[in-house]
Amino acid sequence: MNPLYVGLELGAGGFFVLAAVAAARRGRLPLLELLSAAMFGILLEEGDQLIFGSYHYAADWILKLDRAPIAIGLTWALILAGAMRITDALGVQRRYAPFVDALLAISLDLAFDAIAIRIGLWTWRGVPSNEGWFGVPAGNFYAWLFVALGFSLVTRWLRVPATRRPRLAWLQLLAPIPAYAILIGGLIPFIVLKPMVDQTHGGGLSLFGVTLVAFAVLAGRGMLIAEREAAHAADRAMLDLRMAFLSRLAIHAFFLAALLVLGLATREPVLLAAAVALLAAELPLAWLVRARTTRAPLMRGAEAKPVPQTAADGARPETAGTWP
C-alpha cells in the first residue's frame, strides 16, 4: 500500500468521524446532513466518471466504491459542510447563501486541483498541462460551482420543514438525488456553449469566468445584506466553526506542502502564487466571521427568538461561542 494514500484516507476518515460525532451531539438533522453530504460526494464522483468519463482516480486508493474513493466522498462532505457553516456564521440570507457556499468551495479547488494531478491522485483524460488551468479543464471548476449550489439549495430548503417536524429530517438522505440533478442541469449551458467559444479539450475558462462573476455578484449582495442580520445556525450546523476552518486549512496545507516537497514551486510559480494567495485569503475570511459572530447581538434581528429544537430531534444546543 502506498503510504501517501494510507495517510490521506486515514486523515479524511479521522476528520469525518470527529465531525460526525460532534454533529450527532447537536441533533439528528446535523448528522443526517453531514452523512448526505458524504453520500453526495460519492454519488457525484461515481456518476461523473460513468457519464462523462473525463477523469479517473489512481489505482493506489484503497477504499473505493466502484470508481469513487471513499476518502474523496468524505472530503466533499467536509468541504460542503464547512462552506455552509461559514456562510451561516456570516449571517447571509438563505436565498443568497448557496452562492457564497459555492465561492467558498471553488476557492479550495482552484488552489489544489492542478497540484493534485501532478501528484497523481487523479488524471484528467486528454487534457495537456498547457490547457485549461494548468491541465485542469475549465469545466471542472464550472461544475464545482453547481456541486456546491445544488447541495446547498436542497439542504437549506429541507432545513425549514425538518426543524418544525423532526421526522422530515430523514428526507435529507435523499438530498443527493435532486442536488445531482441540479448539477447536471447547470452543466448544460457550458456543454452547449463551450464548442462555440473554445474547442480545446480543457478550454472554457471564459465561460467559467463569466459564471464565477455572476456567482460573486449574488454572493456579494448576500454579504451586504448580512451586515444587517445576526449570525445564526450554530446549534443546527453540520460542523462547528473550528472544524470548518481546520478542515479547509488542512487541505490547503497538504497541497501546498506537496507543491514545495516535489519541487513544483520553481517549475510552476503561478501554482505556488495561487495556492499561497488562496490560503492567505482564509485569514480575512476568519476575521470577518469572527467580527460578525461577535457583533451578532448588536445587529438588527438579534432580538428575534431562535428556532427551538424539539426533544424529538435530540438536539443539544451549541452556543454562539463556537468561534475560538
User: CA angle at residue 254 from 251 to 259, to 5 degrees?
Assistant: 125
Chain centroid, CA 90 distance in Å: 16
> How far is it, in rounded angstroms, from Cα 152 to Cα 149?
5
From the CB of residue 290, how many other CB atoms can be counted at a distance below 10 Å? 14
pLDDT per residue as tens digits for the range 187-236: 999 999 999 999 898 999 999 999 999 999 999 999 887 654 445 566 77
% of the chain with per-residue pLDDT over 70: 88
> What are the φ and ψ backbone dihedral angles of 199, each rounded to 5 degrees?
-95, 0
> How far is it, in rounded angstroms, from Cα 59 to Cα 56?
9
Q: What's the pLDDT at 170? A: 96
Q: What's the pLDDT at 107? A: 97
Residues 138-172: b if buried by 16+ CB within 10 A, e if exposed: bbbbbbbbbbbbbbbbbbbebbeebbeebeebeeb
Radius of gyration for the chain, computed over Cα atoms and rounded to the nearest angstrom: 19
Q: What's the pLDDT at 60? A: 96
Q: What's the pLDDT at 232? A: 54
> How far is it, in rounded angstroms, from Cα 123 to Cα 117?
6
The full DSSP string for 56-84 is: EE-TT--SEETTEEHHHHHHHHHHHHHHH
Q: Identify the bridge partners of residue 57 per DSSP, sorted by sequence position.
A: 122
> How far is it, in rounded angstroms, from Cα 46 to Cα 44?
5
For 265-271, the CB contacts below 8 A with 24+ separation are 268/114, 268/118, 268/134, 270/134, 271/114, 271/115, 271/134
C-beta of residue 238 within 8 angstroms of C-beta of residue 34: yes
Q: How buried is residue 66: exposed, middle or buried, by Cβ count under 10 Å (0-12/13-18/19+)?
A: exposed
pLDDT per residue as tens digits for the range 77-116: 999 999 999 999 998 988 999 999 999 999 999 999 999 9
The full DSSP string for 105-140 is: HHHHHHHHHHHHHHHTSEEETT--TTSTBTTB-HHH
Report for 129-133, 180-184, 220-224: range of highest mean pLDDT: 180-184
Nearest to 30 by CA among 19, 39, 40, 41: 19
